[in-house]
Amino acid sequence: MDATDTSISTGYPDFTKDDLVSQDDPYPQFHHWFKQAVECDAIPIPNSMALATCTASAIPSVRMVLMTEMGPNGLVFCTDQYSRKGRELEENPNASVVFYWKPLDRQIRVEGKIRKLSDEESTRYFKTESRPLQVLVASVERQSVVIENKTVLKQEYEKTQQKYADESVPIPKPPNWMGYVIEPSCFEFLQAHTNCLQDRIVFVRQSDSTWTVQRLTP
Ligand SMILES: Cc1cc2nc3c(=O)[nH]c(=O)nc-3n(C[C@H](O)[C@H](O)[C@H](O)COP(=O)(O)O)c2cc1C
């Protein structure tokens, strides 16, 4: 290498505010990166995200969930409203999610308040789920409760499978399965580089439709 050549390969080009789809609104940037993650064959579940919730007394917990949709009001996911996360969200609506797409060396963090969707809206999302997932949800009375063994689970699953063997019969949404939307107050887009000079661009909501955008240190 030429001694005067100080360039270091970073894997990806620098990501600056000028590269944002919009500097006024984080949603177009989210959609842009999400589309690239969907189109990347090496990312099997691009809509999987770690969801962090917190009890009223500030004890955190985290688990993976699937983003069902990114709508105009935020990120939608579905779960059992009486699960651990459901109960935590009932007492503390603040939540945070993170997507990590290693093949693109990208992370998106979103923070905001949760709003539970109506039964009608939740039913609409339930209908879009795969049949095996609908069977599972209909066969598990409560998520996150202790059970004796796996046989109990299998028996309930098979019973529900037989009940809905005719696939033309729709499976009704159980009352405990609900949709939630995270209404974002903050988005952080991180592009990692092999030289560790990570680009972190953060949008913070100022009002319903205005956002500030800034760069953070890695
Ligand atoms: C890739 C992946 C996606 C998941 N998606 C969901 C989901 O969309 N909804 C859900 O309730 N659980 C989902 N789970 C299971 C959760 O991670 C978790 O085990 C479950 O919701 C119970 O969490 P809780 O006890 O903290 O409420 C998923 C797990 C994995 C590994």
Q: Is the pTM of this model over 0.85?
A: yes
- Tell me which residue has its CA closest to atom 14 in ligand 1: 65
In a domain, 185, yes or no: yes
Residue 201: strand pairing partners: 189, 215
CA 143 to centroid of ligand 1, rounded, Å = 9
In a domain, 163, yes or no: no
**Would you state the pLDDT for residue 110?**
98
Nearest to 180 by CA among 83, 100, 68: 68
In a domain, 7, yes or no: no
In a domain, 10, yes or no: no
> Is 133's C-beta closer than 6 angstroms to any atom of ligand 1?
no
> Is 143's C-beta closer than 6 angstroms to any atom of ligand 1?
yes
Q: Around Cβ 62, how many Cβ atoms within 10 Å?
A: 13
In a domain, 36, yes or no: yes
Q: How many domains does the chain have?
A: 1
In a domain, 133, yes or no: no
> Is 64's C-beta closer than 6 angstroms to any atom of ligand 1?
yes
> Is 115's C-beta closer than 6 angstroms to any atom of ligand 1?
no
- Tell me which residue has its CA closest to atom 13 in ligand 1: 65
Domain that holds residue 75: 17-128+175-216
In a domain, 154, yes or no: no
The preferred substitution site among 65, 81, 116 for testing ligand 1, maximizing ligand atoms within 8 Å of CB, is 65
- Tell me which residue has its CA closest to atom 12 in ligand 1: 65
CA 106 to centroid of ligand 1, rounded, Å = 22
> Is 153's C-beta closer than 6 angstroms to any atom of ligand 1?
no
> Is 81's C-beta closer than 6 angstroms to any atom of ligand 1?
no
**Would you state the pLDDT for residue 8?**
44
**Would you state the pLDDT for residue 208?**
86
Query: Is 74 within 8 Å of 181 (Cβ atoms)?
Result: yes
CA 51 to centroid of ligand 1, rounded, Å = 9
**Would you state the pLDDT for residue 153?**
93
- What's the CATH number where 66 sits? 2.30.110.10
Backbone φ/ψ region at 196: left (φ over 0), alpha (ψ -120 to 50), beta: left
Per-residue pLDDT of the chain in tens (218 residues, 90 and over written 9)? 333 333 444 578 999 999 999 999 999 999 999 999 999 999 999 999 999 999 999 999 999 999 999 988 999 999 999 999 999 999 999 999 999 999 999 999 999 999 999 999 999 999 999 999 999 999 998 999 999 999 999 999 999 999 999 999 999 999 999 999 999 999 999 999 999 999 999 999 999 889 999 999 99
In a domain, 140, yes or no: no
CA 187 to centroid of ligand 1, rounded, Å = 22
Between CA 154 and CA 21 the distance in angstroms is 48
Return the SS3 of 158. Answer: helix
**Would you state the pLDDT for residue 2?**
37
